Amino acid sequence: MTVTVAIDAGDVQPAIDARLAAWSESDFGVRLWDRDPTLWFDPPRDEVANRLGWLTPGSRAGIGPIEAFAAEAVAEGLTDVVLLGMGGSSLAPEVFASVFSDADGPRLTVLDSTHPGSVMRVADAVDPATTLFIVASKSGGTLETLSFFRYLWARATDAVENPGSRFVAITDPGSSLADLAAERGFRAVFLAPPDVGGRFSALIEFGLVPAALIGIDVGRLLAATDQAAFACGPDAPVDQNPALRLGAALGEFALTGRDKVVFEPQSQFGAFPAWIEQLIAESLGKDGRGILPVADGSPSPAADRLPFAIGLEGVSPTTAPSVTMTLGDVYDLGAAMYILEMATAAAGAVLEVHPFDQPDVQLAKSLAHAAMTEGIDGIDVDEWSLDADDTVAHLATLLSSAGPGGYVALQAYLQPTRVTEQRLDAIADAISEATGAVVTIGIGPRFLHSTGQFHKGGPDSGVFLQIVDHPADDLKVPETEFTFGELIAAQSLGDQAALKDRGRPVGMICLGDAGAADLPRLKDAITAALA
Q: What is the pLDDT of residues 131-160, one digit of tens each?
A: 999 999 999 999 999 999 999 999 999 999
CA distance 217 to 105: 11
pLDDT band (50, 70, 90) for residue 336: very high
How many other C-beta atoms can be found within 10 angstroms of the C-beta atom of residue 130? Answer: 14
Q: Helix or strand or coil: residue 382?
A: coil
Q: Where are the alpha helices (DSSP H) in 483-518?
A: 484-501
DSSP state, residue 297: P
**Helix or strand or coil: residue 412?**
strand
Q: How far apart are CA 358 and CA 450, in angstroms?
A: 10
* pLDDT: which is higher, 463 or 45: 463
The CATH class of 359-530 is alpha beta
The CATH code of domain 60-222 reads: 3.40.50.10490
Contacts of 187 by beta carbon, 8 Å cutoff, 6+ apart: 132, 164, 165, 166, 167, 168
pLDDT, mean over the chain: 94
Choose between 307 and 301: higher pLDDT: 307
Instruction: Output the pLDDT for position 259.
Output: 96
Q: Look at residue 317 in the predicted model and tell me its pLDDT.
A: 92
Query: Does position 456 have pLDDT exceeding 70, yes or no?
Result: yes
Q: Which of 31-45, 50-64, 308-322, 389-403 has the lowest mean pLDDT?
A: 50-64
Residue 247 and residue 14: Cα distance in Å, rounded?
15
Confidence of residue 60 (pLDDT cuts 50, 70, 90): low
Q: 57, 82, 58, 54: which is closest to 213 by C-alpha?
A: 82
The amino acid occupying position 342 is M
Distance, CA of 288 to CA of 238 (rounded, Å): 28
Euclidean distance between CA atoms 188 and 49, whole angstroms:
30
pLDDT of residue 213: 97
Q: How confident is the model at residue 297 (pLDDT cuts 50, 70, 90)?
A: low
3 and 325 in contact (C-beta within 8 Å)? yes
Residue 377 pLDDT more than 80?
Answer: no
pLDDT for res 376: 56
**Segment holding 135, helix H or strand E:** strand 131-136
Omega before 210 cis (within 30°)? Answer: no
Strand partners, 468: 413, 510
220: enclosing H helix or E strand = helix 218-231
Residues 168-183: what's their mean pLDDT? 97
pLDDT band at 373 (very low <50, low <70, confident <90, very high): confident
CATH of 3-34+237-330, one of 3.40.980.10, 3.40.640.10, 3.40.50.10490, 1.25.10.10: 3.40.50.10490
Long-range contacts, 43-48 (Cβ 8 Å, 24+): 45/354, 45/357, 46/357, 47/197, 47/354, 47/356, 47/357, 48/354, 48/356
Residue 169: φ, ψ to 5°: -115, 140
What are 422-440's pLDDT values in tens digits?
999 999 999 999 999 999 9
pLDDT reading at 48 higher than 70 = yes
- Residue 46 reports pLDDT greater than 70: no
Three-state SS across 53-110? HHHCCCCHHHHHHHHHHHHHHHHCCCCEEEEECCHHHCHHHHHHHHHCCCCCCCEEEE
pLDDT of amino acid 50: 84
DSSP 264: E
**At residue 42, does pLDDT exceed 90?**
no
Across the beta sheet with 506-510, the strand order is 383-385, 506-510, 462-468, 407-413, 438-443
Q: Are 148 and 119 in contact (CB under 8 A)?
A: yes
In single-letter form, the type of residue at position 90 comes to: S
Q: Exposed/middle/buried for 460, CB within 10 Å: 0-12, 13-18, 19+?
A: exposed
Helices (H), 443-482: 452-457
| Phi, psi dihedrals of residue 411, rounded to the nearest 5° | -115, 100
- pLDDT of residue 380 exceeding 90: no
**Whole-number Å distance between alpha carbons of 1 and 156:** 42
Q: What CA–CA distance (Å, rounded) separates 202 from 411?
A: 25
Residue 61 has pLDDT above 80, yes or no: no
The upper half-sphere exposure of residue 237, i.e. CA atoms within 13 Å in the direction of its Cβ, equals 3
Which of 478, 389, 531, 474 is CA-nearest to residue 158?
478
Backbone angle region of 440, left / alpha / beta, with phi > 0 → left and psi within -120 to 50 → alpha: beta
DSSP-assigned letter for residue 140? S
Task: Give span(s): CATH 3.40.50.10490, the chain.
Answer: 3-34+237-330, 60-222, 359-530
pLDDT surpassing 70 at residue 2: yes
**pLDDT for the residue numbered 1:** 66
Contact of 210 with 168, CB cutoff 8 Å: no
pLDDT digits (tens, 9 = 90+) for 204-259: 999 999 999 999 999 999 999 999 999 999 999 999 999 999 999 999 999 999 99
Pick from 251, 277, 266, 387: which is nearest to 327 by CA? 266
User: What is the pLDDT at residue 369?
Assistant: 81
Average pLDDT of span 322-338: 97
pLDDT in the model for residue 418:
94
**Please, are residues 385 and 290 in contact by the beta-carbon 8 Å criterion?**
no
